[in-house]
Amino acid sequence: QVQLVESGGGLVQPGGSLRLSCAASGSSFSVNVMGWYRQAPGKQRELVAAISGGGTANYADSVKGRFTVSRINARTVKLQMNNLKPEDTAVYYCNANTFGGYVYWGQGTQVTVSS
């Protein structure tokens, strides 16, 4: 079992920045890829960014050049979000995939971009 705890959401004006953090506990030694998804009202959950244990990252086209995902260690992943836009407003979920093929989710943190 892996437990994920997120922090760092909030309200920010367009053009501002936020940083999200996610810490894994439990059997976190088995975690392979960690990342972030988001879900806006009335929309499907979508991948924002993900990073492997080896540091290979991939991003949604809509956030390339603005967001940066980093793996601090085997248990912690951060998402630096710059130049935020109103369309970035969503609940952001931390995601972890284990080598055994299990998928875990955090509880979600709200990000609101509004003037």
Q: Are 103 and 35 in contact (CB under 8 A)?
A: no
CA 3 to CA 103: how far, in whole Å?
11
How many CA atoms lie less than 13 Å away from 26 in the CB half-sphere? Answer: 10
What token pair was written down for 46? 């979508």
pLDDT tens per residue, the chain (115 residues)? 789 999 999 999 999 999 999 999 886 567 899 999 999 999 999 999 999 988 999 999 999 999 999 999 888 999 999 999 999 999 999 999 988 889 999 999 999 999 9
